[in-house]
Structure 1
Amino acid sequence: MTGNQQDNEPKHKRDLTRRKVVVAGAGAAVAVGGGAALATGAFAGEKSGTAASASASASSSSSAEACYRLTSETTEGPYYIDADKLRRDITEDKEGIPLVLHLKVIDSETCKPIRNAAVDIWHCDALGIYSGYEAMSSGGGGGVPSDAPSDGATPSGTPTGEPPSGAPSGGTGGSIHQEPTDDERYLRGTWRTDKHGKVTFKTIFPGWYQGRCVHIHTKVHVNGEWTDAGYEGGNTCHTGQFFFSEESVLASAEVEPYSTSTTTRTTLTEDTIYDQSGTTGGLLKLKYDKKHIAKGVVGSLTMGVDPDAENDNTTL
């Protein structure tokens, strides 16, 4: 159901049975790389290095947090899998720069945190491959995903023409969903927000593929129910993407396995999905050692959402 359709229907007629998250088995994910201690500390309460500074910053600013505008809606992309794993550590065995992602979900009108929301994130690996769609992904300069420009042209300068996959100007819209081609589910997961509207994920810094800048996909589901099977029902109030500064991406490109990629990279300003509006558009606040990014990165963002909206962004 699209946002426009929802606007014309009463709330009690919303589809409350569409979504179901399957709980992952124990031990589904493991720490990777030399920066594993940094990411692990985010869950064990062990504050060290970059993670400590990010936690301190978040704590000091929370009391003075201003009301946020609605976070930009973007295309879901073709590689979303609804029945995903309920977990905070989505790394599995993928190599890459450790990334701890601190997210907060608030009602953009009241500024109150939204607790017990289900937050999905999913993204490609260090070489541009999506789990579930390995045969269709474009790592190493292969095929072009359907949320990338269809002409296969190498991006240069300011992008022109219509955004990819039918997304209208400004970065909103949807794209054609593709059915999974394999059973892999790395770098995908769902977790609930706490009473402060916060949720933390452990993953790796994403790579890039043809036609898109570095990004992470996200969805926020509310008004559903947490059960033994996971999260059921409710409405998808936000579909968006998180973006990374050009400086951080350039630094990551010097580290293996990112440095082995042969794919032409699209910059943040060239991307036709990111709306260039900063944090409102999904630009993450990042903390890392600029000389040693391989040690790990901490990203954070507050998402202002309308809990009564329906923003699946699954159709053109």
Structure 2
Amino acid sequence: MTSMNRRDALRAVAVTASGGLLMSQQAFAQEAGASASQTAALLQGADVCAIVPEVTEGPYYFDPAMERVNITEGRPGIPTRIRLQVVDAGCAPMPGARVDIWHCDATGVYSGYAGQGDDGSIDTTGEAFMRGTQFADDNGIAEFETVYPSWYRGRTTHIHFKIFLDETNILTGQIFFPDALSEYIYLNVAPYNDRASARDTLNSNDSIAAQSTRTAFALIKELDEEYLVAMIVGVDPAAQSAVGFSMGAPGGDRPEQPEGGAGSQMGGPSGSADRATMTPPVKGL
């Protein structure tokens, strides 16, 4: 996709600021090429450090034990940088938080499972693309290089995340994208537009997007060669997970776990965390 096409896509939407910005307003403004006053305008009405509600993990989680920034494994799509900042309700960063993300690729397929695709014929058993772990830095920031996710039946465009302190302090959530931008991409950009089926779910009729509230809608900015998807994730260090932690079951048929139902408002770490003491740790670290 050309730079002009990406600009056209962003012009076609009123890009939401509902996830807030990462770092300080000044630091984000400098990177995004905007003035501090312009950045502040983007934040108008945002739930900057609001506690993000916990939602279902969904059927496609497993821990591939891969601490890495680039999670694409060479698969095609529009380059996209995911930048999450983990904070408490008072906007204090939570360094050392373990952050996992996972999502479908540009064709709507997750790694590690059979029975996928519009006709159920795709098997990605043994693969781990679009999955990875990072540990939040001193500012609570974790960053991933990936591609813009596609869609699959029954769900709007989204990226999953988990934030860990231990087996009970886990926030399971999802990141959502502007529908107009997604629709532009899916109609005009390969391989997103190489599908026979029509998208059947938007933000407006996705129950999990509704449960997540506006705090889970990311700010999207266009950089020279990629999109920047930025979101502050507010967590409650005292909360305990209703969803919890499960390793999932990579490989085999798609598990019969519905992507529905509301969880509790959840927490993550309250300060620096040594990787060796985190539960569950990334294997081999």
Q: Give the TM-score of the pair, scaled to structure 1.
A: 0.60
- Once the two structures are superposed, residues 35-70 of structure 1 have per-residue CA deviations (whole angstroms, 9 ceiling, x without a partner) of 8xxxxxxxxxxxxxx993179769x76xx9986221
1:297 to 216, 227, 232: 227
1:130 to 110, 114, 129: 110
Matched, 1:193 2:136: yes
1:114 to 89, 94, 97: 94
Aligned partner letter, 2:92: K
Aligned partner letter, 1:123: H
Q: Is the 8 A contact 1:238 1:312 kept in 2?
A: no
- Once the two structures are superposed, residues 235-278 of structure 1 have per-residue CA deviations (whole angstroms, 9 ceiling, x without a partner) of 44310000110121022111000011223311111212101765
User: Helix, strand or coil: the match of 1:269?
Assistant: helix
Aligned partner letter, 1:220: I
2:148 to 202, 205, 210: 205
- Once the two structures are superposed, residues 201-255 of structure 1 have per-residue CA deviations (whole angstroms, 9 ceiling, x without a partner) of 1100001101111100000002xxxxxxxxxx55443100001101210221110
In structure 1, runs of 5+ residues without a counterpart are 1-32, 36-49, 145-179, 223-232
Q: State the 1:117 CA deviation.
A: 0.1
Q: State the 1:279 CA deviation.
A: 3.7
User: Helix, strand or coil: the match of 2:31?
Assistant: helix
Structure 2 CA distance for partners of 1:99 and 1:118, relative to 1, 3 Å: same
2:119 to 142, 147, 172: 142
Structure 2 CA distance for partners of 1:88 and 1:124, relative to 1, 3 Å: same
Matched, 1:252 2:229: no
In structure 2, what is the Cα distance between the partners aligned to 1:34 and 1:66?
33
User: Helix, strand or coil: the match of 1:189?
Assistant: strand
Where does residue 68 of structure 1 map in the other structure?
49
Structure 2 CA distance for partners of 1:273 and 1:52, relative to 1, 3 Å: same
Structure 2 CA distance for partners of 1:87 and 1:277, relative to 1, 3 Å: closer
Where does residue 207 of structure 2 map in the other structure?
272
In structure 2, what is the Cα distance between the partners aligned to 1:245 and 1:206?
12
Matched, 1:84 2:14: no
Q: Which runs of 4+ in 1 moved over 3 A?
A: 54-58, 64-67, 233-236, 276-279
Q: Is the 8 A contact 1:279 1:301 kept in 2?
A: no
- Of 205-214 and 67-76, deviating more is 67-76
In structure 2, runs of 5+ residues without a counterpart are 4-28, 245-256, 262-285
Q: CA RMSD in A?
A: 3.4
- Once the two structures are superposed, residues 179-216 of structure 1 have per-residue CA deviations (whole angstroms, 9 ceiling, x without a partner) of x9721001000101111111111100001101111100
Q: Is the 8 A contact 2:110 2:124 kept in 1?
A: no
Query: Percent identity among equivalent residues?
Result: 36
Matched, 1:284 2:218: yes
Q: Is the 8 A contact 1:54 1:298 kept in 2?
A: no
Matched, 1:262 2:196: yes
In structure 1, what is the Cα distance between the partners aligned to 2:237 and 2:197?
38
Q: Give the TM-score of the pair, scaled to structure 2.
A: 0.66
User: Helix, strand or coil: the match of 2:184?
Assistant: helix
Q: State the 1:93 CA deviation.
A: 1.1
User: Helix, strand or coil: the match of 1:252?
Assistant: helix
In structure 2, what is the Cα distance between the partners aligned to 1:301 and 1:259?
27
